[in-house]
Structure 1
């Protein structure tokens, strides 16, 4: 069952008498230790387009995505890809090289009833293909196209390739993509009407393309894809979608993680031919525990795997349902818990009411649907096409697992009400001992929040600095609330204040913050504002700052003496 809507939950908390959630009250928003206004961030370098580019001056940058690779930050936007040298002077932000890729199909796009502003080439895919080339795919006036470019020079290599199922038609549609084992895994929509959602593997040497079942609400129901990553023998996809199992409650969004085997070759000629034979999905639960669970269901962002308390984990940002009071939460999920959830019971609808219940284990065929050929219980099966028809037919009808992946610690690491957070970046090696975890959270109103999580264990016998200067028992500290969006200096359309991208560059101690109309270079800390005041420097609890007499408060060195 989903959590209570936030307005109802808050009303219940305000009712007189014994509170419903007395054991687990809704957490109050943390008060920032430092508020950084636009006057203080106005000097940070910004990039809003090439000098003399009239189209960008009129329409804005139209940022799409970022990629940090080999000391270079690549930024994909409308009709352009920009390459920024991360070693350049921190007071500047201008690309050392760029490419222009405009569509030649604007007239046909307009004939389809699209606006002129939509009939550009919005570059939605930018992923490393190998050590020396990038794959870029653009909407190309609603006729998606892909090209390969050299990393070093941004020169095109080879011929154009169709972008269908590799890139959306519309810049507003979601897409995640990555290369694994030389194959491109992409998750997006495969048609002009956006009715065919697909997880697709293509460009595979010697292997035909593979995809999810077409037009099946059990497999994918209006998904919005957020992240894709390889882990072990699987590729995992994180997304949100309209829940098929909660259909009786209306259009409810839920967070999911799905996986497919990297060696999946599709089903047999009789069942699931050229379709994933291993596709399974399970719900991700980020919720406040209590007598009545309140869940954050709208998945917004997921980090790549990080070491959290010595274990591989991903951190994920969630929001409330679109029709409820704004609120957001960050939860961590150990990848071992994610793997374990895929071994749980399958789900299916039962009875006249259509309630989804667990499938009894005795009805699950062997080898178990979703396992990889040649591994574990399927060690004796050479290829996925050799699975018994019974296993493949069950996998076709039962992609959903019962239950959910619970967050690490059983609750969110951080919550925020009253605003929607949109992007997440994490540094799990902050501080001179590299044992502090700092979250950077972008918001829809143009702010960036910097949050210090509870300390991980320092090296044996080494006291962590400043531990006596904090809030006893506090699990998280909101170190800074930074205002960055300036409408006078960042041209954009409606919703232009929404943070669309965060890219952390640890060696440079900086964060690149992307809005629709501009890119901002933000230092991770503002130590100099504490000057020569030792108490202010230590009370800030900022792991990027240190008290260094006689110089005062400054950036923490790699290793404190």
Structure 2
């Protein structure tokens, strides 16, 4: 009922040219096949700070970032970077080593009247510079600072560099970063007031520093950056921002994907000097089709690329507008479709009504220097001004493309109403044959949802017709299932500020069959399955439909591993289709 109400109460923002489907009801929330309570998860290993650390005891861990590299999980927090050996005993969660990076002027900071938690270093950037070096940046009480560390020893290498435009000034400000071709690509804010949003390239020996246009709402309007990743000759940035083209409706957040060319060398002294000439952006669309298209617009998380149907794709988590009824959805996007979406006709404001129709080729500026010369071609050291002024005749020119990037299958893989989901991790190779996709979704109330998500290509949708179940691949029992709803957050075990139950990070480690779940105050080591809850009940084990569990006579229900002997079973259809299975008194785990 709530799902139907959600579809009608929320404001529907219609994008011109958006696909419309036949009349159909809003997807109902799935019922979890198993609910795992705090009593069952109380024994899972947790880390809330170093033993004897009084500051952590008072303020909590203050988690910021996670990174898995070379068999080690690195966790950035307040004043520390922790390194966890992923091969350690799974009953333990304690760092093998750590580094401490405290501010040098904590006393003077406190004397200036700052609150205690404002006089610490919060490590907001943690990315691999290469296979052996970590690049970190932190928000000091004054100006952000960057350092490089040797990954194995956590010893500092080289000198500190300025963190401006590479790291935010405040932990509440968003940022993403990555190294590509020896350069750091960062997206954050470049000033303390958070008024100068920037996508910036720096630290490259062969590529000049470039950035987006300053204080231009056409380029970036109050963005919240979510993910950055390389693909082909481009760097893609995923974020949400206030839509300048929907200004007549108020402050409406929309999901965006932006792209820059790796070989962009900037403009001329008169046009876009030290600015991107290849910066383009488009709307990222996650909708429930119907007569009235329902939009999930608030981008929360984006995965790194994975292979879906043999093609590189990303999965993204979306939410509803902040002042609306809570709801979330997961959509998948082929990267080829994302690249195609950041092309085509530009959107330009026309008339007094605030409309942004597509600009015809004959009356619109060109698509930018990289497009003029060919996206894969190297750009000249001195770009011709004619090609720049054709695309950027004035600062009012917009890099926004008309239309939107549609998701794989034309609709979400999974929807949830009544709560806001915050984080997403995906395993596209689950099960004995590695042919199942499992989503792990963190929620703001401290739960983790485990979803068996069957993905399909757009061609499958057309062949199956409009009546096919969302995500159905045509295989028996390939519908989307909510396998588990797992409660993890308990204030007594995980200290933190107000809202500390929100899941801030998920890091999947398939070789160890575990998921690391981060809250503001602690880190939890969560096994991917709870097969033992089915005990010696074959029916319960097989009907659970968990790709991580198999029935192994006479050992019972056990997690799948490559070294299991032959003869195990898995089932992908529910009883009573398999009437040969004896009934058990314990059918569903608690």
Q: By the TM > 0.5 criterion, same fold?
A: yes
Deviation of 1:342 after TM superposition, in Å, equals: 1.6
Aligned match of 2:411: 411
The SS at the match of 2:392 is helix
Which deviations, in whole Å up to 9, do the C-alpha atoms of 1:251-295 show, x marking residues without a partner? 100000001000111111110000000000000010100000110
Structure 2 CA distance for partners of 1:373 and 1:100, relative to 1, 3 Å:
farther
The SS at the match of 2:512 is coil
**What are the within-5 Å matches in structure 2 for residues 191-210 of structure 1?**
191-210=191-210
The 1-side partners of 2:114 and 2:352 are apart by 44
Aligned match of 1:543: 547
Deviation of 1:11 after TM superposition, in Å, equals: 9.0
Q: Please, which runs of 5 or more residues in structure 1 have no aligned partner?
A: 13-19, 458-469
The 1-side partners of 2:261 and 2:21 are apart by 42
The 2-side partners of 1:267 and 1:115 are apart by 44
The 2-side partners of 1:509 and 1:268 are apart by 52
**What are the within-5 Å matches in structure 2 for residues 91-240 of structure 1?**
91-107=91-107, 109-110=109-110, 114-240=114-240
Which deviations, in whole Å up to 9, do the C-alpha atoms of 1:308-360 show, x marking residues without a partner? 12211100000000000110000001111111112221001000112111110
The 1-side partners of 2:176 and 2:482 are apart by 30
The 2-side partners of 1:205 and 1:380 are apart by 17
Deviation of 1:456 after TM superposition, in Å, equals: 7.4
2:522 to 518, 521, 542: 518
The SS at the match of 2:130 is coil
Whether 1:485 and 2:484 are equivalent positions in the alignment is no
Check the 8 A contact 2:424/2:440 in 1, yes or no. Answer: yes
Deviation of 1:381 after TM superposition, in Å, equals: 5.5
The 2-side partners of 1:91 and 1:247 are apart by 53
The 1-side partners of 2:325 and 2:38 are apart by 27
Check the 8 A contact 1:67/1:73 in 2, yes or no. Answer: yes
Structure 2 CA distance for partners of 1:424 and 1:361, relative to 1, 3 Å:
same
1:527 to 527, 531, 535: 531
Aligned match of 2:283: 283
Structure 2 CA distance for partners of 1:108 and 1:310, relative to 1, 3 Å:
same
Deviation of 1:100 after TM superposition, in Å, equals: 0.4
The SS at the match of 1:246 is helix
The SS at the match of 1:358 is coil
Check the 8 A contact 2:6/2:417 in 1, yes or no. Answer: no
The SS at the match of 1:336 is helix
Structure 2 CA distance for partners of 1:509 and 1:245, relative to 1, 3 Å:
same
Structure 2 CA distance for partners of 1:370 and 1:482, relative to 1, 3 Å:
farther
Aligned match of 1:393: 392
Whether 1:352 and 2:356 are equivalent positions in the alignment is no
Structure 2 CA distance for partners of 1:127 and 1:372, relative to 1, 3 Å:
farther
Which deviations, in whole Å up to 9, do the C-alpha atoms of 1:41-82 show, x marking residues without a partner? 011000000000000000000000100000000000000000
Which deviations, in whole Å up to 9, do the C-alpha atoms of 1:153-183 show, x marking residues without a partner? 0001111111100000001110100000000
**What are the within-5 Å matches in structure 2 for residues 329-478 of structure 1?**
329-365=329-365, 368-369=367-368, 371=370, 375-376=374-375, 379=377, 382-383=380-381, 385-386=383-384, 388-394=387-393, 397-454=397-454, 475-478=479-482
Which deviations, in whole Å up to 9, do the C-alpha atoms of 1:133-172 show, x marking residues without a partner? 1111000114210111000100011111111000000011
Aligned match of 2:470: none
The 2-side partners of 1:395 and 1:308 are apart by 41
Structure 2 CA distance for partners of 1:217 and 1:109, relative to 1, 3 Å:
farther
Deviation of 1:106 after TM superposition, in Å, equals: 3.1
The SS at the match of 1:39 is helix
The 2-side partners of 1:548 and 1:64 are apart by 41
Check the 8 A contact 1:263/1:373 in 2, yes or no. Answer: no
The 1-side partners of 2:407 and 2:244 are apart by 22
Aligned match of 1:554: 558
Structure 2 CA distance for partners of 1:114 and 1:250, relative to 1, 3 Å:
farther
Check the 8 A contact 2:441/2:450 in 1, yes or no. Answer: yes
Deviation of 1:22 after TM superposition, in Å, equals: 8.0
Which deviations, in whole Å up to 9, do the C-alpha atoms of 1:211-231 show, x marking residues without a partner? 000000000000000000000
Question: Structure 1 residues 102-111 or 340-349, which shifts more?
Answer: 102-111
**TM-score computed with the length of structure 1 as normaliser:** 0.92
The 2-side partners of 1:198 and 1:510 are apart by 36
Deviation of 1:390 after TM superposition, in Å, equals: 2.5
1:497 to 481, 498, 501: 501
4+ runs of 1 displaced by more than 4 Å? 4-8, 107-113, 378-381, 470-474
Q: Please, which runs of 5 or more residues in structure 2 have no aligned partner?
A: 12-19, 458-473, 568-590
The 1-side partners of 2:174 and 2:313 are apart by 24
Check the 8 A contact 1:369/1:395 in 2, yes or no. Answer: no
Deviation of 1:384 after TM superposition, in Å, equals: 6.7
Aligned match of 2:56: 56
Aligned match of 2:29: 29
The 1-side partners of 2:213 and 2:276 are apart by 8
The 1-side partners of 2:382 and 2:238 are apart by 23
Deviation of 1:244 after TM superposition, in Å, equals: 0.2
Whether 1:68 and 2:68 are equivalent positions in the alignment is yes
Aligned residues: 538
The 1-side partners of 2:126 and 2:447 are apart by 26
The 1-side partners of 2:415 and 2:122 are apart by 33
Deviation of 1:118 after TM superposition, in Å, equals: 1.6
Deviation of 1:131 after TM superposition, in Å, equals: 1.5
The SS at the match of 1:385 is coil
Q: RMSD of aligned C-alpha atoms?
A: 2.4
Aligned match of 1:243: 243
Check the 8 A contact 2:300/2:423 in 1, yes or no. Answer: yes
Deviation of 1:374 after TM superposition, in Å, equals: 5.4
**TM-score computed with the length of structure 2 as normaliser:** 0.87
